[in-house]
Amino acid sequence: MPLFWRIFLLNAVVLITATALLLGPVTVSTPVLLTEAAVLTVGLAAMLFANALLVRVGLAPLQRVTRAMSTTDLLRPGQRPEVAGRGEIAELISTYNTMLDRLEDERATSSARALSAQEDERRRIAQELHDEVGQSLTAVLLQLKRVADHAPVELREELSLVQETTRSSLDEIRRIARRLRPGVLDELGLASALKALTTEFGASTGLMVQHRLDPDLPDLGPEAELVLYRVAQEGLTNIARHAQARRAEVSLRRTPAGVDLQVRDDGHGIGAAAEGAGIRGMRERALLVGADLDVGPAPGGGTRVRLAVPVPVRGPAPVRAVPTVTAAPDRKR
């Protein structure tokens, strides 16, 4: 039955009941007596209450759809209001759920294209930094060495300082190139890439970074490995920038449903802060491989980023890895 006729019939029932009462034993005098006014007031209140109750029951599914519209997040797929009610209401909820399915598919497709283009651009920039800028600075270092060998003694110290500055710039360019596109991920695999990542962060940020990596990880594929690496990289970057932590841990373990990546710290925690671009970027990457990302407080304090990638796992149970600690070098502050 259409929504218009349902509401019309609900109100008609109330009005017919009121008319039946007026045609029955209930009478109204002129002027109106106090008892008659009390009866009419009670009757009017009862009719209004009954009308409000019936309309609320009839429109309750629409209120659920309204709440779903205000709380649905396309980065957390699967949230759907229950199809309830009849006629136009049920059709509206079903159409809304279909629209959400289409929006999530379109967002996943567009995000995949954007992230793929971003990775291609990173790869191109990293290659140019390594081949062009890196080789140019290497040539400059060799030329400076030849000049320093034939320069007067009073100029050698200044040339040595220039060599050190150039060498530091070359190391920084190589570090940027590795962050843009980690060659070790393509050459040696995910475990080696994560070990190199924790070592680099421990050396450059002063954090005590610990990694726990299970051996014999399943074959994840290049796309899933890149997502895992980028999430770990973004998690460590957020720790270094915002957490004010002293220790961090990156763990990757094999589970019956796939693999589980966790990045934890002992900082002040995320609290009630809104999710920034970094976390939303991690969620978009997780959607590409059908993974589940959870960001929240860690047991004992701090923040935990957990990424569960559903990969079919076959074979014996995993052996627990021995934790390895990468200690940060002493640095002058």
Tokens of 308: 């569960």
- CA–CA distance, 262 with 294 (Å, rounded to integer): 10
Residue 261, pLDDT score: 92
For 140, list phi and psi in degrees, rounded to 5: -65, -40
Per-residue pLDDT of the chain (333 residues; tens, 9 = 90+): 566 666 777 777 777 777 776 666 666 666 767 776 787 788 778 777 877 777 777 677 777 777 777 767 666 666 777 776 666 767 777 887 888 788 777 777 776 677 777 777 877 887 787 778 888 888 888 888 888 887 787 787 888 888 888 888 888 888 787 777 777 777 788 888 888 888 888 887 888 888 899 888 888 888 888 889 889 988 888 888 888 888 899 999 988 888 999 999 988 877 666 777 788 888 888 888 888 888 888 887 888 999 998 874 444 444 444 444 444 444 443
Q: How many residues appear in the chain?
A: 333
Check residue 317 and give its pLDDT.
Answer: 43
- What pLDDT score does 333 carry? 38
Give me the sheet containing 292-297, strands edge to edge.
292-297, 303-310, 258-265, 247-255, 208-213, 324-326
- Closest residue by Cα to residue 256 from 318, 214, 211, 213: 318
Angle between helices 34-71 and 3-23 (to 10 degrees): 170
CA dihedral over 49, 50, 53, 58, signed as positive or negative: negative
Distance between CA atoms of residues 250 and 263, nearest Å: 5
pLDDT number for residue 301? 82
Longest dimension (CA), the chain: 125
Phi, psi (rounded to 5 degrees) for 71:
-115, -10
Which of 170-192 are b and which e, b meaning 16 or more Cβ less than 10 Å from the residue's Cβ?
A: beebbeebbebbbebbeeeebbe
